[in-house]
Amino acid sequence: MQASSGLEWKLENFSPTSLEGPSYQKNLDVIVKTNRKGNWFNRSLERVKNKIKNIYYEFKEKVGEYKPIIVGSAIAASPLPVKILYSTGSYIANSHKGVGGNIIKYSLIGLSVAAAVGLGIMFGLHSIHSLPPNHEQYVGSSGGYEEFVPHNTINYNGNTDPTGDLILPNGTTIHNTIWNGQYAGTIIQDHNQIVQLNDQFVGQTDPVNNQPYVNLQDFYVIKGPIPIEQVTINGQPYTVIEADKINPANIAGFYTYDKWVPNFEVAMNTPGTYATVIPGNSPVFQWTNTTGTVAYQTTVYEGQGVGGGGGVLIEPNGPIISYGVMYSPSGSAFSNFTAPYKVYNPSS
């Protein structure tokens, strides 16, 4: 039988003489003391086990409360293939109750988790240039100027857009760039007019300084970061400027000698550079260098309706760059360059 004290007795070993004498009392004291120690240890162990169980069930209960939020957020942020695997698994489990449905469910969900981890590692180990097509990113700098230089046109998403080069403040040139969005039609029209005027005037002589006219190039300056996407058209990779996401105040068009276009951006990004306007009687028009020729040629193109001519960009320690301004776009952030208030008066 089992006594309430936890001591175990066997009836066959019991006899009255076993209760007699000091040996009985000594053995009983040892058994009682040992049993008390064992009970204390058992009770302590039981309390620890109960605490662990309570912590486990409290944690499980809390996780259960937030599980839908955690899982929903993770799945919502996952790529489409992961979402499909997860949704399919959940649907099968709900449609086919029992062990079979759960096996299929958790197999598909396991695949979705593995896919999410794999994609996360893949994207984490690659730079921004390794992102998949149609992923928007930004190039340029917050306070710098970038240039888009048009050359041709392309059919993109059903629209005719200008294509050309994108020049960044650090001097990097991104070829095969598409300008998509606002001002696309204006840029094409202005560029075509510049090309037509080059065809008309290049080869003739400047009547003021008696030097040959040069090829002029239109370009469009953006202030601040530019949103772009990477796409592939007929096997050819392109960089697309998402112009509709750029503040119109941060876009302006200019034109100058085609070989000076990169220098113009460098000058704009150089602290201390400022713009001036050349008066009609300025000796600059008589200079027998390219600066004098372009200064006068921009006024000739202005007379043909392209835009204002006779501007001069002056760097602190650099050359003087003659240029003209397109009528549109002409963002307010460029007012110091599109409508300079200073007049350039050279010493000679």
pLDDT tens sequence across 76-109: 444 544 444 444 455 444 555 555 555 554 554 5
65-74, 223-232, 326-335 — which is least confidently predicted?
65-74
Which has more confidence, 8 or 148? 148
How high is the pLDDT of residue 98? 57
Q: How many CB atoms lie within 10 A of CB 107?
A: 13
Question: What is the residue type of 219?
Answer: F
pLDDT band for position 318 (cuts 50, 70, 90): confident
Which whole-number Å values give the CA distances from 328 to 159, 180, 190, 264, in the listed order?
20, 16, 9, 18
CA distance 84 to 87: 5
Q: Which of 324, 331, 341, 307 is nearest to 145 (CA)?
A: 331
- 3-class SS of residue 119: helix
CA distance 80 to 72: 14
> What digits encode the pLDDT tens for the residues 230-284?
999 999 999 999 999 999 999 999 999 999 999 999 999 999 999 999 999 999 9
CA distance 11 to 7: 13
pLDDT band for position 134 (cuts 50, 70, 90): low
How high is the pLDDT of residue 69? 42
> What digits encode the pLDDT tens for the residues 278-301?
999 999 999 999 999 999 999 999
Does 181 have pLDDT greater than 80? yes
How high is the pLDDT of residue 319? 85
Structure token digits, residue 184:
């696309």
Break the chain down into helix, strand, coil percent, rounded to 5.
50, 25, 25
**Which backbone phi and psi does 7 adopt, to 5 degrees?**
-85, 145
How high is the pLDDT of residue 97? 52
How high is the pLDDT of residue 110? 54
Residue appearing with tokens 């876009």? 251
**Which backbone phi and psi does 87 adopt, to 5 degrees?**
-65, -40
Does 111 have pLDDT greater than 80? no
pLDDT band for position 2 (cuts 50, 70, 90): very low
pTM to 2 decimal places: 0.63
How high is the pLDDT of residue 136? 80
28-37, 41-50, 60-69, 72-81 — which is least confidently predicted?
28-37
Does 335 have pLDDT greater than 60? yes
- 3-class SS of residue 270: coil
pLDDT band for position 336 (cuts 50, 70, 90): very high
Helical segments of 96-157, H only:
99-124
Which has more confidence, 32 or 75? 75
* Strands ordered across the beta sheet of 320-330: 137-139, 226-233, 236-242, 173-180, 159-167, 145-156, 216-223, 251-257, 320-330, 307-314, 274-277
Which whole-number Å values give the CA distances from 105 to 74, 102, 123, 261, in the listed order?
17, 5, 27, 61
How high is the pLDDT of residue 133? 55
Is the separation of the CB atoms in 226 and 148 below 8 Å? no
CA distance 348 to 339: 24
> What digits encode the pLDDT tens for the residues 143-158?
899 999 999 999 999 9
Question: What is the residue type of 131?
Answer: L
CA distance 79 to 112: 10
Q: Which of 318, 338, 225 is nearest to 270 (CA)?
A: 318
